[in-house]
A and B are shown apart, each in its own frame.
Chain A
Amino acid sequence: MIELSHINFRYKKKKQLFENLSLTLQPGFIYGLLGKNGAGKSSLLKLVSGLLYPNSGQCTVFGHHAAARKPAMLQDIYMIPEEFELPPVSLATFVKINSVFYTRFSQNQLNAYLAEFELSDDAKLSTLSYGQKKKFLIAFGLATNARVLILDEPTNGLDIPSKSQFRKIMAASLDEDKIIIISTHQVRDLENLIDNIVVLEQGNIIFNYSIAHISERLAFEYNLAGVPDEEILYTEELQGRKAGIVKNIAGVDSRVDMELLFNGIVKNAPAINEAFANLKYEY
């Protein structure tokens, strides 16, 4: 479990980013961390991985203080940032040097992922394209078997077949011990993988629900003609029609349109959150 409690954080001389932020992430789920540019997503991920220290409050990862950066915690966390630099060595050399830090690293798993992504381990990292480098880091990160996996914009730079392979690999690798956090703007690529949506806005968590709850409480319509006003929570123009989010009155679980949901939350979070009043948590 990852627990952030009462986090206060500011970058030097800038205004406060996180004020009394608390968030709990449970194993067995893929969390989608969404938010506009500058909302605080990367800073939050850095607090979790011990790359930034909170001014007050604390962040624990499976009981370890993130800021202490003890080896026991660091071998259980792998972060794939959006921008990275890799040394000019072969894939095999990189693996040889870095895998020793992860006690549960599996060479067999890595070979399988590399085969899936069509990467050969004698290639030099410096000769790979951005997308290939990214696929290599995803493969290595998964093969570390770290229980916390943080992916910042993982589908950026991936071609269409690679996105599909990525989804398959993620579906295969989630288990009940793992916490996977994906920060992304490319929600269409990942909407069927994510099972909890956390939305950040100016350092505040303005939405945090599971897909199961969302599909029970909300419905996503692509033609709002004839829907009574009091059921409509959010509307936008979509190719000449009005699309939007409505209360799920029919009681049939809806398909969650993450892009529409995100737009609705950013526009009017209180109205969307209203639909979740009296929600009983089952887990």
Chain B
Amino acid sequence: MEFKDNQAIYLQIANRFFENILKKEWQAGDKIPSIRDMAVEFEVNPNTTMRTFNYLQDKGIIYNKRGIGYFLADDGLEKTIALKKEQFVEEDLPVFLKTMKLLGLSLEDLKAYAAKYEGPSIN
């Protein structure tokens, strides 16, 4: 994986976990790959992936069964959605709104673009 933006590597790896959860590749109760497996996959120090796991555990998204491994929490998907929503509103949206303002776009204009949006339904 190419690490690009200014975010710490352990947070960028956390984002990959979030993607897996949001795409439902990992479901509630599923065992997730180990700290070491993840370090090998991303070619990073295992201490870095350990920080990712600690971060997700603090957020209540994954939990640890001693000696067995890490699992996705029952409400892991809901918590991930809540966390990503908060990030979207606090970090992505201000930039988006600023650009809209610079370009003189109104919310009404956006509705027209949203109607033409061909990706998965956003309603």
**Contact partner, B39, options A164, A172, A220, Cβ 8 Å:** A172
Given A168-B40, A171-B36, A255-B3 in contact, is the A195-B45 Cβ separation under 8 Å? yes
B59 to chain A, nearest CB (A): 15
- Residue of A at shortest CB range from B43? A167
Interface presence of B17 (CB below 8 A): no
Chain A residues touching B, majority SS: mixed
Most chain A Cβ neighbours within 10 Å, of B10, B47, B48: B47
Given A168-B40, A192-B3, A255-B3 in contact, is the A174-B46 Cβ separation under 8 Å? yes
| Tally of chain B residues near chain A (CB < 8 A) | 20
The interface residues of chain B lying within 8 Å CB-to-CB of A212 are: 51
Interface presence of A193 (CB below 8 A): yes
Q: Quick check: B8 and A254 within 8 Å, CB to CB?
A: yes
**Contact partner, A195, options B3, B12, B47, Cβ 8 Å:** B47
A174 to B47, CA, bound (A): 9
**Contact partner, A221, options B3, B6, B42, B44, Cβ 8 Å:** B6
**Contact partner, A192, options B5, B44, B51, Cβ 8 Å:** B44
Most chain B Cβ neighbours within 10 Å, of A171, A172, A215, A256: A171
Which A residues have a C-beta under 8 Å from some C-beta of B? 28-30, 164, 167-168, 171-172, 174, 192-195, 211-212, 215, 219-221, 252-256
